[in-house]
Amino acid sequence: MIQGDDADFQALMEKITRDRGFRCASYKDKCLRRRIAVRMRAKGTFTPSEYAGVLDTDPREYERLLRSLTVNVTKFFRNWDTYSAIESKVIPALWQLPDRELRIWSAGCSSGEEPYSIGILLHKYAAETREPARLESVTILGTDIDGDRLGEAERAFYAESALGDTPAALRERYFPQVAGLHTMLPDVKRLVSFECNDLLSHQPPLEDVHLLLCRNVIIYFEREAQDALFKEFHRVLAPGGFLVLGKVETLLGEARGLFAPVNARERIFRKV
């Protein structure tokens, strides 16, 4: 556990926010404390103020700390059952929308596996319905607060471990190999773009969104920040737009009245 008084820890939080724009106050305290304690131990420091001194002299440690605070774990088709429900229920509904433009936002996309997974399912559906031209009006935007992970997303070279949940047929068709790594089929890659965006800045990068995925991100936020984000998601979604959360996340309080469950188990909701 972190030694030093609470004011010392609060001062460190404020410093991180001031120096790097990472809004510590909106993240769950317990989670931040645990991760910071690991970094403090790794640097042989005992109090938050001692560790703040290390951050001042070692920019590489700052990067390590931020990397640990953002929790970038992800993979292609993470929780396949959710993607299976998206494939069978959400994509056909999106295809039927009168609006020819389809706007999809993967918020907190880390190194891109989530938006590319959606791109693959859309590409597959367009091929099955013999409407490949429809893909020309598809926008998939992946955003994250972590610029380094977005750089990886843009390069799109993935190790075997990133494909853990990917069904064999999709793996063969969509992931050409280069020098022992998996890349993304160009026809899918061109559907997806990336942009740095801090969800807590409340400046959403898209409007009239038809499908918004925000999975395994809000779980790290305090309740107040979650409430504000659910309201914002409701606002940016087009009428009848879909919201997908992570398997252990759920709508709370007022937000329950803003969305109707499509598949409660897979955390798929629709704007009402």
Applying CB under 6 A, which residues contact ligand SAM? 70-74, 78, 108-110, 114, 144-146, 149, 198-200, 215-217, 246
Structure tokens, 229: 């984000």
Residue 167: C-alpha distances to residues 79, 125, 171, 245 (Å): 12, 16, 6, 21
Least distance to ligand SAM, CB of residue 109, Å:
6
Of 116 and 175, which has the nearer Cβ to ligand SAM? 116
Of 45 and 226, which has the nearer Cβ to ligand SAM? 226
Least distance to ligand SAM, CB of residue 145, Å:
4
DSSP β-bridge partners for residue 263: 268
**Which of these, 121, 123, 113, 138, lies nearest to 216 by C-alpha position?**
113
Least distance to ligand SAM, CB of residue 96, Å:
26
Of 26 and 45, which has the nearer Cβ to ligand SAM? 26
Of 126 and 243, which has the nearer Cβ to ligand SAM? 243
Structure tokens, 230: 């659910």
Least distance to ligand SAM, CB of residue 72, Å:
4
Of 122 and 146, which has the nearer Cβ to ligand SAM? 146
The answer to whether 218 touches 245, Cβ cutoff 8 Å, is yes
3-state SS assignment for residue 258: coil
Q: Which amino acid is at 9?
A: F
Least distance to ligand SAM, CB of residue 49, Å:
25
Least distance to ligand SAM, CB of residue 34, Å:
15
State the number of CA atoms in the 13 A half-sphere of 84 facing the CB. Answer: 8
H helices of the chain, in order, are: 6-20, 29-42, 48-57, 59-70, 80-85, 91-96, 113-128, 147-155, 168-174, 186-189, 223-236
Q: How far apart are CA 212 and CA 234, in angstroms?
A: 10
The answer to whether 267 touches 256, Cβ cutoff 8 Å, is no
DSSP β-bridge partners for residue 158: 182
Structure tokens, 257: 């009245």
Least distance to ligand SAM, CB of residue 63, Å:
13
3-state SS assignment for residue 207: coil
Of 48 and 108, which has the nearer Cβ to ligand SAM? 108
Of 122 and 126, which has the nearer Cβ to ligand SAM? 122
Query: Which letter, b or e, does each residue of 231-241 get, where b requires 16 or more Cβ atoms within 10 Å of its Cβ?
Result: ebbbebbbeeb
